[in-house]
Amino acid sequence: MVSRRAFNFGLASAAATAALPNSALAQAQYRGPNVIVVRFGGGVRRRETIDASESYAPYFLHRMAPRGVLIPGVVIDQMEGGNTSHAEGTLNILTGRYEGYRDAGSKFLDDRLEPTEPTLFEYFREAFDVPSHQALLINGEDRQQEEFFTYGVHGHYGIDYRSEMLSLHRFKLYKFARILEEGGLDEQARLQAEQAYQELLNADRRAIQPEQSAPVTRFWEGWRRDYGDTGFKNPRGDRLLTALSLRAMAELRPRLLMINYQDPDYVHWGNASHYTRAIAVIDEGLERLVRFTDTDEFYAGNTVFVVVPDCGRDANGLIDLPFQHHFNTRSAREIFALVMGPGIARGRVMDRAVDQTAIAPTIAAIMGMKAARAEGDVLSGLGA
Ligand SMILES: [Zn+2]
């Protein structure tokens, strides 16, 4: 439950950091760059993103890539029985391993994976004295399976080092808890609110333990003040993820932020324009994020972007439903990455094949820590 004490503080995030319990004393202050990981997700192929003649992501390709190292040859390994998909690819990115996950054990909800290996968030919060709201995951509204990514079940890491998550699901949990707390509802409205709240809790059994931090509760308080309870006024889809990210950067100052864009996946229903339009929306989001980062005092000159897809998509245009990705096909395993920011070379193109599992240990190296359980290599050749 959201508690009253969440409303008792009016502190800046720096002051909240200072108020952490003493268990953090052994940890170092984090002095490395901020890192923003953008999952160019929902499965995108190289062709519609980094191929100049076909790209629907002009900002990414023509404005961002020249500022960093573009790696056009990132691949997902062809695992025996592997599934090239969203949760799997995202956990490859976060753990630096293939198949570092297991079914989260839900019988009635499909496609729920939880990491069995530590994620970047856990490595980060174990290594440095960083509060949970500054290791932040931004998720889409209809992918509750990704609510499981804030921490894994690896014995040494886990919940103590979890990140926090912002999603519409989380907002609704906050909203209904507050509505029930505020009272004043007639009996029918109260029952409806209770039912809605219970359904949210049931869909997300791990995520509320422990409750979200006071700074995140305060974030939702402001969001609700601005957008109200109807759900009709806030942006939707991947534009919502951009809005949540920009607001979080301004208010919560995350040092490690991952944004899980997803809307290109609407192409599963067969309409190619859903796919290309969604790529353009992510591209607009990237432009807004980079512009904010370039001008904000906290982030300017001290922030590394890492952009990488969860998976690609099939290239066979002759089948009835093109643009799928579940079958381990070559173009579903062919993705890319961009690393951009201080200390990173500008305008370089890395001309070798790189595994998706190299992303996590490379981010860890950029942040001055080690992803001890990662299997991928730390990428060389990024330095300016
Ligand atoms: Zn999909």
CB 249 within 8 A of CB 285: no
Q: How far is the CA of 326 from the centre of ligand 1 (A)?
A: 8
Q: Which residues contact 51 (CB under 8 A, 6 or more apart)?
A: none
CA of 354 to the centre of ligand 1 (A): 23
Compute, in angstroms, the gap from residue 201 CA to the centroid of ligand 1. 25
Q: In degrees, to the nearest 5, what angle opens at C-alpha 16 toward C-alphas 12 and 20?
A: 170
**What integer pLDDT is reported at residue 9 of this predicted model?**
29
User: What's the rounded Cα separation, in Å, for the pair 323 and 334?
Assistant: 13
Say how many Å lie between the CA of residue 45 and the centre of ligand 1.
12
Helix, strand or coil for residue 9? coil
Question: Which residue in 290, 300, 178, 304 sits closest to 245, CA to CA?
Answer: 290
Q: What is the DSSP letter of 28?
A: B
Residue 128 CA to ligand 1 center (angstroms) comes to 35
Residue 112 tokens, joined: 């729920």
Pick from 334, 383, 348, 331: which is nearest to 362 by CA?
383
**Residue 13 contacts residue 252 (beta carbons within 8 Å):** yes
Instruction: For residue 152, count other CB atoms closer than 10 A to its CB.
Output: 27
Of the candidates 290, 316, 314, 322, the residue with the CA atom closest to the CA atom of residue 303: 290
CB 86 within 8 A of CB 310: yes
Phi, psi of 296 (to 5 degrees): -85, 135
CA nearest neighbour of 340 among 299, 303, 377, 308: 303
Segment 277-286, tens digit of pLDDT: 999 999 999 9
What token pair was written down for 366? 């950029």
Alpha carbon of 308 to ligand 1 centroid (Å)? 16
| pLDDT tens track for 213-240 | 999 999 999 999 999 998 889 999 999 9
In angstroms, what is the span from residue 258 Cα to ligand 1's centroid? 19
86-113 per-position pLDDT tens digit: 989 999 999 999 988 887 765 544 567 8
The residues, any chain, with a CB within 8 Å of residue 98's CB and separated by 6 or more, are 76, 77, 79, 82, 92, 356, 357, 375
Provide the percentage of residues in the chain whose pLDDT is more than 90.
Answer: 67
What number does CATH give the domain 27-366?
Answer: 3.40.720.10
pTM score, whole prediction:
0.90
Average pLDDT over residues 198-206: 77
Percent of the chain with pLDDT over 70: 87
Which of 47-51, 146-150, 175-179, 279-283 is the least confident region?
A: 146-150
Distance of CA 310 from the midpoint of ligand 1 (Å): 10
Q: Kindly list the distances between the CA atom of residue 164 and the CA atoms of 151, 186, 216, 310, 370, in Å, as whole numbers in the listed order.
A: 9, 34, 8, 20, 21
What residues form DSSP beta bridges with 114? 102
pLDDT score at 204: 65
324 CA distance to ligand 1 centroid (A)? 7
Q: What pLDDT, on a 0 to 100 scale, did the predictor assign at position 186?
A: 95
pLDDT at residue 10 in the model: 31
Yes or no: say if 132 and 213 are a contact pair by the CB < 8 Å rule.
Answer: yes
Contacts of 271 (CB under 8 A, 6+ apart): none
Ligand 1 midpoint to CA 2 (Å): 33
Q: How far is the CA of 380 from the centre of ligand 1 (A)?
A: 31
Residue 1 has pLDDT above 70, yes or no: no
> 88 burial class (0-12, 13-18, 19+ CB within 10 angstroms)?
buried
